[in-house]
Structure 1
Amino acid sequence: MRFDSYHPAINFLFFTVMILATVFFDQPVFLIISYLCPFVYSVVLKGKKAAIFDLILIPLILIYALYYASYHHFGVTYLRQNFIGNQITLEAFIYGCTISMRVAAVLMWFLCIHEIITSDKVVYLFGKITPRLSLFLAILLRGVPQLREQAKKINLAQEGIGRGTRQGNPVRRVINTLRLLSILVTWTIENMVQRSDSMKSRGSQLRGRTAFSIYRFDHRDRTLVISMFFGFTILLMGVLLDQTHILYNPKIIMNRVTSVSVLFYIIYAFLCLLPMGLQIVSVCRFERQRRKITENRFR
């Protein structure tokens, strides 16, 4: 029932549509939904690390909005002057917030993508279309966590001889960090060469090669696809009715919020929260089954 247990094509379709909607929808309600939903979902998937990353993005959003409003002059609602005498308007500041919130939301969606779409799914999706691209993406997705783990191992070994990144005075720490990066780059190059030779030996560049996969498009996948396309259709109606756009120059102008608009907001929120809902249902179902097994064992 977990979202990552569904067919890889469904995962890819969902994240593609969500990222496109996040980039192009600038109406305030849609923008808030686009920001909050990946925020919560990334925390559910990755826990404390995702929460720290998401919270760090908040001051960066405000900093970019101030920067944008200081150097882009449009709007009619005057706020104040900056230190070089440029006027800061409310419209420019809000538009800067809009841009930075979109970027932050896309980054949070990519956190979720990295957790849901694994390297074997990438190979399955793109293996028959572009084998080289699928191989490159699979190596890239697998290489990032491996690089992090190898850096920890190298730093631990260096600490054993007094050359860790947290040992010595500030100058010595910088030298130790540069040494660690040099070792890590050397290891990465050697690892890539070994991996390339290994994949050539397995016939990765041969024509007509096939790959084993465990993915099958079953009735559960069809049900989810039908539900998603129903939501996408209603969302497309909102786009055609210009419910997802707002004007910021020279002043803020947006369509009036009606009951139909509320329907579009609900559908969009439902689509964004769909994977997290499946995740919660799966966890609750697992806990219920575990509780039943425990009760039956002690009867």
Structure 2
Amino acid sequence: MRFDSYHPVINLIYFAAAIVCTIWFHHPVFLGISYVCAFVYSVKLDGKRAVIFNLCLIPLIFLYAAWYSYYNHFGVTNLRQNFIGNQITLESVVYGIVRGTTVAAVIMFFSCVFAVVSSDKVVYLFGRISPRLSLFLSILLRCVPRVKERARKIEISREGIGKGVRQGNILERFLHGLSLISIVITWTLEDFVESTVSMKSRGYSLRGRTAFSIYRFDNRDRSFVVMIFLCLTFVASAILLDQTEIYYNPEIIMNPVTPMSFVFYVAYAVLLLLPMGLQIAGEIRYKRKK
């Protein structure tokens, strides 16, 4: 059973916990678990597109690490000098890789958010708290797939008149691509304005507005909440025992790995892989019944 069939509050709790922990933990083991789980879950949701997108993030991580270590000089393990005489240290390189991996993992988790959280769930979650914020987020989430579809249709129509991005020489392809981007941006801005005016004309931002929803918090959602908070309890214990702490300046220092550390690692991995595990179990159960 897909994770998007669960209550919107469950989706919010999971993704908030996953993204916050990914940003907070700079420990290489916890960060590696976050990256691998985000990679695998995004591939499970989006397939080959996610594989290509996630693989494109890997060279960007190392490019950022190279740039960061080139302009930030801390640490005691010197590797070499740059062209202006500053030292490039092992600690700065490792910390650059850590920061780049964190950003990549967060981006992959957000791709999962776009695949799971629909616009009606955003309206349900934020409609009563902040109608304006709910309107903005729902339009944004709805805009991403619509922009892709509109760009595809525009490209097909332009190919019919010989102005596709794969037609002509290099200069003509470049100009055709700029024209396509200009058309898509213009359409997107006009769509934003039309959507906002349409929602305001329906009284979306008025006080006292009621909201209708089809979501019910059932026993399945309660069981998922129990599992999430059980895993978060182990993660909180790891934080209290300094198992997630690591220092990169002036040298790399972290607590030794103990048998209890593996319990925390497993609990964190279970937390991040819980939605995908439930989805795989539901698919297997469906195939058996079929």
Which TM-score applies when normalising by structure 1?
0.92
Letter in structure 2 aligned against 1:88 = I
Q: Percent identity?
A: 59
Letter in structure 2 aligned against 1:44 = K
Letter in structure 2 aligned against 1:277 = G
Letter in structure 1 aligned against 2:143 = G
In the TM superposition, what is the alpha-carbon distance from 1:120 to its structure 2 partner?
0.8
Shifted more, 124-133 versus 67-76: the winner is: 67-76
CA distance in 2, matches of 1:24, 1:249: 17
**Paired position in structure 1 for 2:184:** 184
Equivalence map 1:189-268=2 (5 Å): 189-268=189-268
**Paired position in structure 1 for 2:92:** 92
Task: Give the 3 Å change call, closer, same or farther, for CA 118–247 of structure 1 in structure 2.
Answer: same
CA distance in 2, matches of 1:57, 1:159: 30
SS of 1:20's partner is helix
CA distance in 1, matches of 2:225, 2:36: 24
**Paired position in structure 1 for 2:147:** 147
CA distance in 2, matches of 1:98, 1:183: 38
CA distance in 1, matches of 2:27, 2:197: 50
Task: Give the 3 Å change call, closer, same or farther, for CA 227–50 of structure 1 in structure 2.
Answer: same
CA distance in 1, matches of 2:181, 2:74: 45
SS of 1:79's partner is strand
In the TM superposition, what is the alpha-carbon distance from 1:61 to its structure 2 partner?
1.2
CA distance in 2, matches of 1:191, 1:25: 39
Where structure 1 has 5 or more consecutive residues not aligned to the other structure, the ranges are 291-299
**Paired position in structure 2 for 1:294:** none
Q: Deviations over 1:167-209 (max 9, x none)?
A: 2222322332233233323323333343234323433123222
Letter in structure 2 aligned against 1:72 = N
Letter in structure 2 aligned against 1:81 = Q
Q: Does 1:39 align with 2:39?
A: yes
**Paired position in structure 2 for 1:57:** 57
Task: Give the 3 Å change call, closer, same or farther, for CA 250–192 of structure 1 in structure 2.
Answer: closer
In the TM superposition, what is the alpha-carbon distance from 1:68 to its structure 2 partner?
1.6
Q: Deviations over 1:134-162 (max 9, x none)?
A: 01111111111111111111121111112
CA distance in 2, matches of 1:26, 1:193: 41
Alpha carbon RMSD of aligned pairs, Å?
A: 1.5
Letter in structure 2 aligned against 1:254 = M
Letter in structure 1 aligned against 2:66 = L
**Paired position in structure 2 for 1:167:** 167
CA distance in 2, matches of 1:253, 1:193: 52
The structure with the larger Rg is 1
In the TM superposition, what is the alpha-carbon distance from 1:283 to its structure 2 partner?
1.1
**Paired position in structure 2 for 1:293:** none
Letter in structure 2 aligned against 1:251 = E
CA distance in 1, matches of 2:71, 2:196: 48
Q: Does 1:126 align with 2:146?
A: no
CA distance in 2, matches of 1:194, 1:201: 11
SS of 1:31's partner is helix
Which TM-score applies when normalising by structure 2?
0.95
Letter in structure 1 aligned against 2:266 = I
CA distance in 2, matches of 1:106, 1:183: 30
Q: Deviations over 1:235-270 (max 9, x none)?
A: 111111111010111111111111221111111111
Task: Give the 3 Å change call, closer, same or farther, for CA 160–15 of structure 1 in structure 2.
Answer: same
CA distance in 2, matches of 1:27, 1:180: 43
CA distance in 2, matches of 1:130, 1:29: 38
CA distance in 2, matches of 1:133, 1:38: 26
Letter in structure 1 aligned against 2:188 = T
**Paired position in structure 1 for 2:278:** 278
Matched residues, number: 290
Letter in structure 2 aligned against 1:240 = L
CA distance in 2, matches of 1:187, 1:41: 32
